[in-house]
Structure 1
Amino acid sequence: MWRSIASNALTLFIVALVALAGVIAWGKREYTAQGPLEQAVCLRVPSGSTMRRVSQNLADMGAVSSAQIFRIGADYTDKSQELKAGSFLVEEGASMAEIIDQITRGGASTCGTEVVYRIGVNRAEVQVRELDPATGSYIETAEFDPLAEGDEALTPPEEYTKVRAEADTRYRVLVAEGTTVWRVVESLKAADFLTGSIEADEMPAEGMLAPDSYEVRSGSDVDDLIARMEEAQQQRIEMVWAERVEGLPFDTPEEMLIMASIIEKETGLPEERRQVASVFENRLKRGMRLQTDPTVIYGVTNGVGVLGRGLRQSELQSDSPYNTYVIEGMPPGPIANPGIEAMRAAVNPDETPYIFFVADGTGGHAFAETLVEHNANVAKWREIEAQQRANE
């Protein structure tokens, strides 16, 4: 009898072990298998969250088949205590293992709310936008001008005030090509998510702030951001200078930066940069003056603000070191912060016979080899200007 009982108990124990092994194997498959999520979602993990709360949120969102298996998997892989705060884009079909790795790895948030601070040539703009997980595109929820003054000055919209109070809001500073150092610095002074200040005697050299996108955290020091921009620009200068072709009409990286800044201000079309570079470099090689308005404008404004009017004859005839209608060669320094493609155009221009160009009414330019051709192009442009004024 006792043997029978022992035999039955052993049988039951074996069956239980087999069943347990089956459950474990099933759990492992569930943990690593493709998840049930049919459309990407944004998972927000507030500071102080627990794995239990996150697992239940994921189950409620339909991102995991079992909150319990999710937690067991986190415990088994020793990641339960490594949960990071942030907003995470959980892709369609993501497995529990992939989600665990994502929310414990840390780093920048991959979805949620983003504040984009755009610094353009003439103005700055703050955008609040939210990532739509389903489409992967951002939806703008608010926009305002942080530098507006007088009657145009606005209290930041409620949407901005709200996201500023959220710890997982991401911040990005975008600096456009062709900005001046003054424009960048003045714009950053108005960025209330940055700390610190920039003194007048600490202003970076013109041309030395790399146009780019910079991710920052709320409370980041503005001096640290400026240092990142300067370091990035210096690295670009060194890299591009090493790529230069033979026969350029300048000898130093500093002169290359000056030429790149002129190219940047003269055309907004990427496909024209090397043609514009060829015109200015052909002129230098022939001993001709550059005769470019943007350098004269910089001499008038010193890179501060926008001229807002046409150049006067007195300014075109002035003895300013930036008046390339009067001086020989290049001005003494850059007139803006050029992007890397303008630098590349400066060190590798197209091979053309052109020494003239003028706007053609399409946003681009008409190039010419002779003064006769150029005068004809200028006449066409004057006609276009007259027609535009008549239609205003």
Structure 2
Amino acid sequence: MSDQMELKFESNPDPGRWRHRRKEGKGRSVVALVMVLLLFGILGGGAWYGYDRFSGRFLAADFDGPGTGEVIVEVKKGDSASVIAETLHSSGVVKSARAFVNAANENPDSTDIQVGQYKLRKEMKASDAVTALLDLKNKFVEGAVTIPEGWTKMQVFTELAKASGLKYADFEKAASDITKLGVSATWMKRSDGKKVDKANIEGFLYPATYELPDNATAEQILKMLVKNFNAEMTKLDFANKAAKLQISPYEALVAASITQVEALLPEDMGPVSRVLYNRVYTDKFPCGCLQLDSTVNYWLRLNGKEGKSSEKLTLDELHSEDNPYRYNVPGMSIGPISNPGELALKGAIEAPKSPYFFFVTVDAKGKMAYGKTFEEHNANIQIACKNGIPIC
């Protein structure tokens, strides 16, 4: 994902030695060669056996982090550790089946993994995947609704309506005053003078799997989601950590919602949030604005339109005064643009300090590169282009 800039910023208009050898007789050379081949033939099987065991135990490819996103995987009756490992590998959860088998062998509780469907992350460390399968909170309940990280309220309402049998409009109506759904006064104020819209539930629909009660109303269902949001914010100590950044919890929530959309890897959540803060809360960025396509695209989706790639957004869509999420609007966005998950929320309140004002995705794995100046940003864009990222 790229934040394309159109402003004036810096110079942007918007050791071995040789040895002599004796010549050996031809016959001696052939005999030596045959002896070497025989030796390798005798030792080869054992050497390969040892290597295979060594590589299987110590060279199993594994991911380093806790993973990102969500995926549902199924453990079937009679599945062995190796079968589960192949399922996880094919679903993108673990980097190699061998890594999971090794982790399962090292965890004595792994034999307690139950049959069923589980909500896991992609690109998890194998030992974390074993732990997650042992945690029944991750077990997927038939008929439950899973809200993925980064979904908008429109997507959430659509899914809840389908699962509950209620209408989309029922959820819209129930969300007309979020203070009646359990959103406390803590979230209804900002430090930058902008107002919080109590009719906007975006950001408060915490991504998780929910088992909907029978015959529940739209209001009861939304209260359940908000209750979970409040519990997770308490665990994260979100409000207090936001205060240490000298911003309101709501502004940090907005940043998290943008970071969820812009950053693909866990390690980029904090750095991307810091770029947002550097742009709008310092006097070092010319417009003091975000200048992100993601906010513009959110406005399009709010109005029933499809989001567009950077090069297809029109000037009117980018800069229309009717769009409160427009490209150059000063300060932090007026509201969240998605419902962020734990990693993005942590990134927003634990954003490491940096001098960067720019970020861009530079490879197919989602790795971000950062720049202090527009020239550095352009150089990173060229790297992205060489890697086949469609932003040029």
- TM-score range relative to shorter protein: 0.5 to 0.7
Q: Which amino acid aligns with 2:302?
A: N
| CA displacement 1:68-97 (0-9 Å, x = unmatched) | xxxxxxxxxxxxxxxxxxxxxxxxxxxxxx
Per-residue deviation, 1:381 = 2.3
Q: How does 1:1-150 map to 2 (within 5 A)?
A: 131-132=76-77, 134-135=79-80, 136=113
Q: How does 1:145-224 map to 2 (within 5 A)?
A: 170-191=142-163, 194-197=164-167, 198-203=170-175, 205-216=201-212, 220-224=216-220
For 1:382, the equivalent position in structure 2 comes to: 385
Give the whole-Å Cα distance in 2 for the aligned partners of 1:305 and 1:187: 18
- Give the one of 248, 252, 265 matched to 2:245: 248
Q: Which amino acid aligns with 2:142?
A: R
Give the whole-Å Cα distance in 1 for the aligned partners of 2:336 and 2:153: 10
For 1:225, the equivalent position in structure 2 comes to: 221
Give the whole-Å Cα distance in 2 for the aligned partners of 1:292 and 1:183: 21
- Give the one of 310, 313, 322 matched to 1:311: 313
For 1:285, the equivalent position in structure 2 comes to: 281
Per-residue deviation, 1:364 = 2.0
Aligned to 2:346, what secondary structure does the other structure show?
helix
| CA displacement 1:287-309 (0-9 Å, x = unmatched) | 33211111111122227564255
Give the whole-Å Cα distance in 2 for the aligned partners of 1:280 and 1:128: 35
Q: Bigger relative contact order, structure 1 or 2, given CA contacts below 8 A and separation 6+?
A: 2
Q: Which amino acid aligns with 2:297?
A: I
For 1:333, the equivalent position in structure 2 comes to: 335
Q: Which runs of 5+ in 2 are unaligned?
A: 1-68, 81-112, 118-140, 179-200
Give the whole-Å Cα distance in 2 for the aligned partners of 1:304 and 1:138: 41
Equivalenced residues, count? 234
Q: Which amino acid aligns with 1:180?
A: T
The answer as to whether partners of 2:153 and 2:339 remain within 8 angstroms in 1 is yes
Per-residue deviation, 1:128 = 10
For 1:273, the equivalent position in structure 2 comes to: 269
Q: Which amino acid aligns with 2:371?
A: A
Give the whole-Å Cα distance in 2 for the aligned partners of 1:132 and 1:304: 44
For 1:82, the equivalent position in structure 2 comes to: none
Give the whole-Å Cα distance in 2 for the aligned partners of 1:328 and 1:138: 52
Structure with the largest fraction of strand: 1
Give the whole-Å Cα distance in 2 for the aligned partners of 1:371 and 1:263: 20
Cα root mean square deviation, aligned:
3.3
For 2:296, the equivalent position in structure 1 comes to: 296
| CA displacement 1:208-238 (0-9 Å, x = unmatched) | 1010122345655554332211111133345
Distance 1:249 1:290, change over 3 A: farther
Give the whole-Å Cα distance in 2 for the aligned partners of 1:237 and 1:299: 26
For 2:50, the equivalent position in structure 1 comes to: none
Aligned to 2:145, what secondary structure does the other structure show?
strand
Q: Which amino acid aligns with 1:301?
A: R
Moved more, 221-230 or 127-136: 127-136
The answer as to whether partners of 2:203 and 2:253 remain within 8 angstroms in 1 is yes
Distance 1:311 1:131, change over 3 A: same
For 1:39, the equivalent position in structure 2 comes to: none
Give the whole-Å Cα distance in 1 for the aligned partners of 2:373 and 2:245: 22
Q: Among all aligned residue pairs of Structure 1 and Structure 2, give the percentage whose two residues are the same amino acid.
A: 29
Residue 354, structure 1, aligned to residue 341, structure 2: no
Per-residue deviation, 1:271 = 1.2
Give the whole-Å Cα distance in 2 for the aligned partners of 1:296 and 1:327: 11
For 2:58, the equivalent position in structure 1 comes to: none
| CA displacement 1:132-161 (0-9 Å, x = unmatched) | 254447678xxxxxxxxxxxxxxxxxxxxx
Aligned to 2:210, what secondary structure does the other structure show?
strand
Give the whole-Å Cα distance in 1 for the aligned partners of 2:348 and 2:142: 36
Aligned to 1:132, what secondary structure does the other structure show?
coil
Q: Which amino acid aligns with 1:226?
A: L
When normalised by structure 1's length, the TM-score is: 0.52
Give the whole-Å Cα distance in 1 for the aligned partners of 2:226 and 2:172: 17
Distance 1:210 1:139, change over 3 A: closer
Structure with max Cα Rg:
1
